[in-house]
Amino acid sequence: MEDLCSLLNKNGTRVLITGDSLSYNRYDFDPNFRTESSFCYPGMPSWSTLVLEAIYQNDPYYKFGNDISINGCKSVTNILPDCDEPMCMLLHSRTAIIKSREMLSFTYSCPTDKIVLYLQKRPDAHGCLFDIYIDGKPSACNVSTVGNPERYHGWERFMVILNVTGDHEHIIEFQNIRCTGTAYITLAGVGSRGVEVYHSGIGSRTVSYFTENFEERIGKYKPDIFIFPIGANDQMLLSHSQFKNGLQELTDMILECSSNCKMIFIAPGRGLHYEVPDSSDPTDIVGKLGTERFAYFSQYNKILNEHAEKIGAVCIDMLTLFKDIPIPEWRFDNIHLTKYGNTILAKEMIHILMPNGYYVEELIDANRK
Protein backbone atom coordinates (compact mmCIF):
# COMPACT_ATOMS: atom_id res chain seq x y z
CA MET A 1 0.00 0.00 0.00
CA GLU A 2 2.71 2.45 1.04
CA ASP A 3 4.73 1.74 -2.10
CA LEU A 4 1.69 2.44 -4.28
CA CYS A 5 1.02 5.75 -2.53
CA SER A 6 4.64 6.89 -2.79
CA LEU A 7 4.78 5.98 -6.48
CA LEU A 8 1.70 8.07 -7.21
CA ASN A 9 3.33 11.04 -5.46
CA LYS A 10 6.23 10.99 -7.95
CA ASN A 11 6.59 12.72 -11.28
CA GLY A 12 6.92 10.32 -14.17
CA THR A 13 5.23 7.28 -12.62
CA ARG A 14 3.56 5.17 -15.30
CA VAL A 15 0.28 3.39 -14.55
CA LEU A 16 -1.11 0.81 -16.96
CA ILE A 17 -4.67 -0.49 -16.85
CA THR A 18 -5.26 -3.42 -19.17
CA GLY A 19 -7.04 -6.77 -19.23
CA ASP A 20 -10.28 -8.12 -20.67
CA SER A 21 -13.51 -6.17 -21.26
CA LEU A 22 -13.96 -5.69 -17.52
CA SER A 23 -11.00 -3.31 -17.72
CA TYR A 24 -13.11 -0.71 -19.55
CA ASN A 25 -16.63 -2.09 -18.98
CA ARG A 26 -18.66 -0.10 -21.51
CA TYR A 27 -21.76 -2.03 -20.40
CA ASP A 28 -24.54 0.06 -18.78
CA PHE A 29 -23.04 3.16 -20.44
CA ASP A 30 -22.74 2.53 -24.17
CA PRO A 31 -25.19 0.28 -26.06
CA ASN A 32 -22.70 -0.23 -28.89
CA PHE A 33 -20.19 -3.06 -28.88
CA ARG A 34 -16.63 -1.81 -28.26
CA THR A 35 -13.84 -4.32 -28.71
CA GLU A 36 -11.24 -2.36 -26.75
CA SER A 37 -10.75 0.58 -24.44
CA SER A 38 -9.51 3.04 -27.08
CA PHE A 39 -12.78 2.61 -29.01
CA CYS A 40 -14.81 3.97 -26.07
CA TYR A 41 -15.67 7.59 -25.28
CA PRO A 42 -13.13 9.21 -22.91
CA GLY A 43 -15.76 10.57 -20.53
CA MET A 44 -17.54 7.23 -20.03
CA PRO A 45 -17.46 6.98 -16.21
CA SER A 46 -16.59 3.30 -15.88
CA TRP A 47 -14.46 2.25 -12.91
CA SER A 48 -11.18 2.64 -14.83
CA THR A 49 -12.04 6.19 -15.96
CA LEU A 50 -12.91 7.11 -12.37
CA VAL A 51 -9.56 5.69 -11.21
CA LEU A 52 -7.66 7.58 -13.92
CA GLU A 53 -9.35 10.85 -12.94
CA ALA A 54 -8.62 10.33 -9.25
CA ILE A 55 -4.93 9.69 -10.00
CA TYR A 56 -4.70 12.96 -11.91
CA GLN A 57 -6.44 14.82 -9.06
CA ASN A 58 -4.10 13.28 -6.47
CA ASP A 59 -2.05 16.44 -6.29
CA PRO A 60 -2.19 19.16 -3.59
CA TYR A 61 -1.81 21.78 -6.35
CA TYR A 62 -4.37 20.35 -8.77
CA LYS A 63 -6.95 22.79 -10.12
CA PHE A 64 -10.01 21.84 -12.15
CA GLY A 65 -10.44 23.67 -15.44
CA ASN A 66 -13.48 25.58 -14.24
CA ASP A 67 -11.55 26.88 -11.21
CA ILE A 68 -9.03 28.70 -13.43
CA SER A 69 -9.54 32.29 -14.53
CA ILE A 70 -8.78 32.48 -18.26
CA ASN A 71 -7.76 35.80 -19.82
CA GLY A 72 -8.03 36.72 -23.49
CA CYS A 73 -10.72 34.22 -24.48
CA LYS A 74 -14.02 34.93 -26.17
CA SER A 75 -15.93 32.70 -23.75
CA VAL A 76 -15.60 29.77 -21.34
CA THR A 77 -18.25 27.08 -20.93
CA ASN A 78 -18.53 23.50 -19.64
CA ILE A 79 -20.45 22.24 -22.68
CA LEU A 80 -18.65 20.87 -25.73
CA PRO A 81 -19.84 22.86 -28.79
CA ASP A 82 -20.94 20.87 -31.85
CA CYS A 83 -20.94 17.59 -29.94
CA ASP A 84 -24.09 15.64 -29.06
CA GLU A 85 -22.43 12.76 -27.15
CA PRO A 86 -22.26 13.51 -23.38
CA MET A 87 -19.55 10.87 -22.85
CA CYS A 88 -17.10 12.97 -24.89
CA MET A 89 -17.02 15.39 -21.96
CA LEU A 90 -14.30 15.07 -19.32
CA LEU A 91 -15.57 15.55 -15.75
CA HIS A 92 -18.57 17.50 -17.06
CA SER A 93 -19.00 20.72 -15.08
CA ARG A 94 -15.40 20.73 -13.76
CA THR A 95 -13.87 21.20 -17.23
CA ALA A 96 -13.32 24.50 -19.06
CA ILE A 97 -14.12 24.66 -22.79
CA ILE A 98 -12.38 27.80 -24.02
CA LYS A 99 -13.46 29.63 -27.17
CA SER A 100 -10.16 31.26 -27.95
CA ARG A 101 -8.77 34.23 -29.77
CA GLU A 102 -5.17 34.27 -31.04
CA MET A 103 -3.82 34.14 -27.47
CA LEU A 104 -5.07 33.26 -23.98
CA SER A 105 -3.41 33.18 -20.58
CA PHE A 106 -3.86 32.17 -16.95
CA THR A 107 -1.75 31.96 -13.81
CA TYR A 108 -0.79 28.95 -11.73
CA SER A 109 1.32 28.52 -8.60
CA CYS A 110 3.19 25.43 -7.40
CA PRO A 111 6.50 24.79 -5.59
CA THR A 112 7.60 22.02 -7.99
CA ASP A 113 9.62 22.08 -11.22
CA LYS A 114 6.73 20.77 -13.33
CA ILE A 115 3.40 22.11 -14.52
CA VAL A 116 1.03 19.56 -16.05
CA LEU A 117 -1.79 20.61 -18.35
CA TYR A 118 -4.66 18.14 -18.80
CA LEU A 119 -6.15 18.76 -22.24
CA GLN A 120 -8.37 17.04 -24.78
CA LYS A 121 -8.25 16.47 -28.52
CA ARG A 122 -11.25 16.82 -30.82
CA PRO A 123 -11.87 15.34 -34.29
CA ASP A 124 -13.55 18.31 -35.97
CA ALA A 125 -12.76 21.75 -37.36
CA HIS A 126 -12.42 23.15 -33.81
CA GLY A 127 -9.17 21.26 -33.19
CA CYS A 128 -6.15 23.55 -33.30
CA LEU A 129 -2.41 24.08 -32.91
CA PHE A 130 -0.77 26.48 -30.46
CA ASP A 131 2.48 27.28 -28.69
CA ILE A 132 2.83 27.45 -24.91
CA TYR A 133 4.86 30.11 -23.16
CA ILE A 134 5.76 30.13 -19.46
CA ASP A 135 6.63 33.50 -17.91
CA GLY A 136 7.18 34.95 -21.37
CA LYS A 137 9.49 32.18 -22.61
CA PRO A 138 8.62 29.41 -25.10
CA SER A 139 8.02 26.05 -23.40
CA ALA A 140 6.18 23.84 -25.94
CA CYS A 141 5.61 24.38 -29.66
CA ASN A 142 2.92 23.10 -32.01
CA VAL A 143 0.75 21.52 -29.33
CA SER A 144 -2.06 19.84 -31.26
CA THR A 145 -5.63 19.20 -30.15
CA VAL A 146 -6.53 17.58 -33.48
CA GLY A 147 -7.92 14.16 -32.64
CA ASN A 148 -7.62 10.79 -34.35
CA PRO A 149 -11.16 9.39 -34.84
CA GLU A 150 -9.80 5.87 -34.31
CA ARG A 151 -8.82 6.66 -30.71
CA TYR A 152 -11.59 7.52 -28.26
CA HIS A 153 -13.68 8.73 -31.22
CA GLY A 154 -11.17 11.58 -31.63
CA TRP A 155 -11.80 13.02 -28.16
CA GLU A 156 -8.71 11.59 -26.47
CA ARG A 157 -7.44 13.22 -23.29
CA PHE A 158 -3.74 14.07 -23.14
CA MET A 159 -1.14 15.73 -20.94
CA VAL A 160 1.45 18.39 -21.62
CA ILE A 161 4.26 18.45 -19.05
CA LEU A 162 6.12 21.76 -18.78
CA ASN A 163 9.39 22.42 -16.97
CA VAL A 164 9.46 25.51 -14.75
CA THR A 165 11.88 27.17 -12.34
CA GLY A 166 11.17 29.21 -9.25
CA ASP A 167 8.55 28.83 -6.53
CA HIS A 168 6.21 31.60 -7.61
CA GLU A 169 3.09 32.34 -9.61
CA HIS A 170 3.68 31.43 -13.25
CA ILE A 171 2.01 33.04 -16.24
CA ILE A 172 0.98 30.41 -18.80
CA GLU A 173 0.13 31.63 -22.29
CA PHE A 174 -1.28 29.80 -25.31
CA GLN A 175 0.03 31.80 -28.27
CA ASN A 176 -0.22 31.57 -32.06
CA ILE A 177 -3.47 29.61 -31.92
CA ARG A 178 -4.13 28.23 -35.40
CA CYS A 179 -7.39 26.61 -36.51
CA THR A 180 -9.31 26.12 -39.76
CA GLY A 181 -12.53 26.95 -37.90
CA THR A 182 -13.30 28.44 -34.50
CA ALA A 183 -10.76 27.14 -32.00
CA TYR A 184 -12.12 25.50 -28.84
CA ILE A 185 -9.59 24.27 -26.29
CA THR A 186 -10.62 21.86 -23.53
CA LEU A 187 -8.71 22.42 -20.29
CA ALA A 188 -9.68 19.66 -17.85
CA GLY A 189 -7.22 20.76 -15.20
CA VAL A 190 -3.73 21.90 -14.21
CA GLY A 191 -1.44 20.13 -11.76
CA SER A 192 2.15 19.62 -10.65
CA ARG A 193 2.59 15.82 -10.89
CA GLY A 194 3.22 14.09 -14.19
CA VAL A 195 1.78 10.67 -13.40
CA GLU A 196 0.85 9.05 -16.72
CA VAL A 197 -2.07 6.63 -16.97
CA TYR A 198 -2.43 4.32 -19.98
CA HIS A 199 -5.24 1.94 -20.92
CA SER A 200 -4.74 -0.96 -23.35
CA GLY A 201 -7.65 -3.22 -22.41
CA ILE A 202 -9.23 -5.48 -25.04
CA GLY A 203 -12.34 -7.63 -24.74
CA SER A 204 -12.84 -11.41 -24.87
CA ARG A 205 -9.22 -12.24 -24.01
CA THR A 206 -7.45 -14.61 -21.63
CA VAL A 207 -4.11 -14.27 -19.88
CA SER A 208 -2.54 -16.15 -22.79
CA TYR A 209 -3.36 -13.30 -25.16
CA PHE A 210 -1.39 -10.86 -23.01
CA THR A 211 1.71 -13.05 -22.98
CA GLU A 212 1.46 -13.56 -26.74
CA ASN A 213 0.91 -9.83 -27.40
CA PHE A 214 3.02 -8.58 -24.53
CA GLU A 215 4.89 -5.72 -26.21
CA GLU A 216 1.78 -4.18 -27.77
CA ARG A 217 -0.42 -4.37 -24.69
CA ILE A 218 2.06 -4.07 -21.80
CA GLY A 219 5.78 -3.98 -22.57
CA LYS A 220 5.95 -0.70 -24.48
CA TYR A 221 4.45 1.16 -21.49
CA LYS A 222 7.07 -0.09 -18.98
CA PRO A 223 4.57 0.29 -16.13
CA ASP A 224 5.46 1.15 -12.55
CA ILE A 225 1.93 0.14 -11.50
CA PHE A 226 0.07 -2.58 -13.40
CA ILE A 227 -3.72 -3.00 -12.96
CA PHE A 228 -5.13 -6.15 -14.52
CA PRO A 229 -8.69 -7.55 -14.48
CA ILE A 230 -8.47 -11.12 -15.76
CA GLY A 231 -10.15 -14.49 -15.39
CA ALA A 232 -13.64 -14.04 -16.82
CA ASN A 233 -12.78 -15.58 -20.19
CA ASP A 234 -10.09 -17.85 -18.76
CA GLN A 235 -12.81 -19.67 -16.79
CA MET A 236 -14.32 -20.86 -20.05
CA LEU A 237 -11.24 -21.23 -22.27
CA LEU A 238 -8.26 -22.25 -20.10
CA SER A 239 -7.79 -25.06 -17.61
CA HIS A 240 -6.84 -24.24 -14.03
CA SER A 241 -3.22 -25.17 -14.69
CA GLN A 242 -3.06 -23.16 -17.93
CA PHE A 243 -4.39 -20.12 -16.09
CA LYS A 244 -1.91 -20.52 -13.23
CA ASN A 245 1.05 -20.99 -15.57
CA GLY A 246 -0.07 -18.05 -17.72
CA LEU A 247 -0.17 -15.72 -14.72
CA GLN A 248 3.37 -16.70 -13.76
CA GLU A 249 4.66 -16.30 -17.31
CA LEU A 250 3.07 -12.85 -17.61
CA THR A 251 4.44 -11.75 -14.25
CA ASP A 252 7.95 -12.83 -15.24
CA MET A 253 7.67 -10.84 -18.47
CA ILE A 254 6.48 -7.71 -16.67
CA LEU A 255 9.28 -7.86 -14.10
CA GLU A 256 11.82 -8.38 -16.84
CA CYS A 257 10.85 -5.09 -18.52
CA SER A 258 9.98 -3.16 -15.32
CA SER A 259 11.73 -4.80 -12.38
CA ASN A 260 10.05 -2.79 -9.60
CA CYS A 261 6.54 -2.87 -11.03
CA LYS A 262 3.73 -3.08 -8.46
CA MET A 263 0.79 -5.23 -9.56
CA ILE A 264 -2.92 -5.18 -8.77
CA PHE A 265 -5.01 -8.06 -10.10
CA ILE A 266 -8.81 -8.03 -10.28
CA ALA A 267 -10.63 -11.38 -10.14
CA PRO A 268 -14.12 -11.50 -11.71
CA GLY A 269 -17.41 -11.59 -9.86
CA ARG A 270 -20.01 -14.34 -9.84
CA GLY A 271 -21.05 -14.76 -13.45
CA LEU A 272 -24.28 -16.20 -14.77
CA HIS A 273 -22.35 -19.35 -15.74
CA TYR A 274 -21.89 -20.11 -12.04
CA GLU A 275 -25.60 -20.97 -11.94
CA VAL A 276 -26.70 -21.80 -15.50
CA PRO A 277 -25.12 -24.55 -17.66
CA ASP A 278 -24.18 -23.48 -21.16
CA SER A 279 -23.23 -25.19 -24.40
CA SER A 280 -19.78 -23.58 -24.11
CA ASP A 281 -19.11 -25.12 -20.69
CA PRO A 282 -15.56 -26.54 -20.29
CA THR A 283 -15.45 -30.34 -20.47
CA ASP A 284 -14.67 -30.66 -16.76
CA ILE A 285 -17.90 -28.95 -15.75
CA VAL A 286 -20.41 -30.30 -18.30
CA GLY A 287 -23.56 -31.53 -16.54
CA LYS A 288 -22.53 -30.25 -13.10
CA LEU A 289 -24.74 -27.97 -11.04
CA GLY A 290 -24.79 -26.06 -7.76
CA THR A 291 -21.78 -26.30 -5.48
CA GLU A 292 -19.75 -28.23 -8.04
CA ARG A 293 -20.08 -25.42 -10.58
CA PHE A 294 -19.24 -22.80 -7.95
CA ALA A 295 -16.18 -24.73 -6.79
CA TYR A 296 -14.91 -25.14 -10.36
CA PHE A 297 -15.26 -21.51 -11.45
CA SER A 298 -14.25 -19.93 -8.14
CA GLN A 299 -11.00 -21.90 -8.32
CA TYR A 300 -9.79 -19.36 -10.89
CA ASN A 301 -10.25 -16.58 -8.33
CA LYS A 302 -8.40 -18.67 -5.77
CA ILE A 303 -5.51 -19.16 -8.20
CA LEU A 304 -5.35 -15.42 -8.83
CA ASN A 305 -5.45 -14.62 -5.10
CA GLU A 306 -2.71 -17.14 -4.35
CA HIS A 307 -0.55 -15.84 -7.18
CA ALA A 308 -0.88 -12.26 -5.94
CA GLU A 309 0.02 -13.29 -2.40
CA LYS A 310 3.05 -15.26 -3.64
CA ILE A 311 4.55 -12.30 -5.53
CA GLY A 312 3.57 -9.61 -3.00
CA ALA A 313 0.87 -8.09 -5.19
CA VAL A 314 -2.70 -6.98 -4.45
CA CYS A 315 -5.79 -8.86 -5.61
CA ILE A 316 -9.28 -7.37 -5.58
CA ASP A 317 -11.61 -10.36 -5.66
CA MET A 318 -15.06 -9.36 -6.89
CA LEU A 319 -16.54 -12.56 -5.45
CA THR A 320 -15.70 -11.05 -2.06
CA LEU A 321 -16.26 -7.40 -2.97
CA PHE A 322 -19.86 -7.98 -4.08
CA LYS A 323 -20.81 -10.95 -1.87
CA ASP A 324 -23.23 -8.97 0.32
CA ILE A 325 -24.77 -6.99 -2.56
CA PRO A 326 -27.74 -8.41 -4.49
CA ILE A 327 -26.54 -9.57 -7.91
CA PRO A 328 -28.94 -7.35 -9.97
CA GLU A 329 -27.48 -4.28 -8.28
CA TRP A 330 -23.88 -4.84 -9.38
CA ARG A 331 -24.06 -7.23 -12.35
CA PHE A 332 -25.23 -5.93 -15.72
CA ASP A 333 -25.26 -9.18 -17.70
CA ASN A 334 -23.34 -12.43 -17.44
CA ILE A 335 -20.22 -10.88 -15.92
CA HIS A 336 -19.99 -7.11 -16.54
CA LEU A 337 -20.81 -4.33 -14.11
CA THR A 338 -23.70 -1.95 -13.68
CA LYS A 339 -23.03 1.71 -12.91
CA TYR A 340 -23.31 0.88 -9.22
CA GLY A 341 -20.86 -2.00 -9.61
CA ASN A 342 -18.43 0.33 -11.36
CA THR A 343 -18.66 2.81 -8.50
CA ILE A 344 -17.97 0.13 -5.88
CA LEU A 345 -14.96 -1.24 -7.77
CA ALA A 346 -13.58 2.26 -8.45
CA LYS A 347 -13.78 3.22 -4.78
CA GLU A 348 -12.07 0.01 -3.72
CA MET A 349 -9.25 0.54 -6.21
CA ILE A 350 -8.79 4.23 -5.39
CA HIS A 351 -8.71 3.60 -1.64
CA ILE A 352 -6.02 0.94 -2.20
CA LEU A 353 -3.95 3.23 -4.42
CA MET A 354 -4.46 6.48 -2.51
CA PRO A 355 -6.04 5.97 0.93
CA ASN A 356 -5.29 9.59 1.85
CA GLY A 357 -5.31 11.13 -1.62
CA TYR A 358 -6.37 14.58 -2.78
CA TYR A 359 -9.09 13.38 -5.17
CA VAL A 360 -12.69 14.56 -4.83
CA GLU A 361 -14.64 11.65 -3.30
CA GLU A 362 -17.98 12.87 -4.70
CA LEU A 363 -16.70 12.44 -8.26
CA ILE A 364 -16.13 8.70 -7.77
CA ASP A 365 -19.62 7.97 -9.01
CA ALA A 366 -20.52 6.23 -12.27
CA ASN A 367 -24.01 7.75 -11.99
CA ARG A 368 -22.78 11.33 -11.80
CA LYS A 369 -24.47 13.90 -13.99
- 10-57: per-residue pLDDT in tens? 999 999 999 999 999 999 999 999 999 999 999 999 999 999 999 999
Same domain, 80 and 215: no
Residue type for position 246? G
Closest by Cα among 279, 245, 251 to 265:
251
Give the contacts of 220 (CB within 8 A, at least 6 positions apart): none
Same domain, 99 and 45: no
Q: Looking at the predicted structure, is the pLDDT value of residue 221 above 70?
A: yes
Same domain, 105 and 168: yes
| Last residue within a domain, chosen from 193, 226, 243 | 193
Same domain, 279 and 295: yes
Q: How many domains does the chain have?
A: 2
Q: Which helix (H) or strand (E) holds 225?
A: strand 225-229
Within-domain flag for 78: yes
Residue 191, CA atoms < 13 Å, CB-side half-sphere: 24
Structural domain boundaries enclosing 171: 63-193
> Average per-residue pLDDT in the chain?
95
Same domain, 97 and 204: no
Q: Looking at the predicted structure, is the pLDDT value of residue 209 above 90?
A: yes
d(CA 213, CA 70): 44
Burial (CB count <10 Å: 0-12, 13-18, 19+), residue 260: exposed
pLDDT at residue 75 in the model: 85
Within-domain flag for 369: no
pLDDT at residue 166 in the model: 79
Same domain, 67 and 26: no
Q: What share of the chain is helix, strand, coil (3-state, %, to 5)?
A: 35, 25, 40
Q: Is the dihedral of CA 131, 134, 136, 138 positive or negative?
A: negative
pLDDT at residue 278 in the model: 87
CA distances from 149 to 40, 123, 127, 146 (A): 11, 6, 12, 10
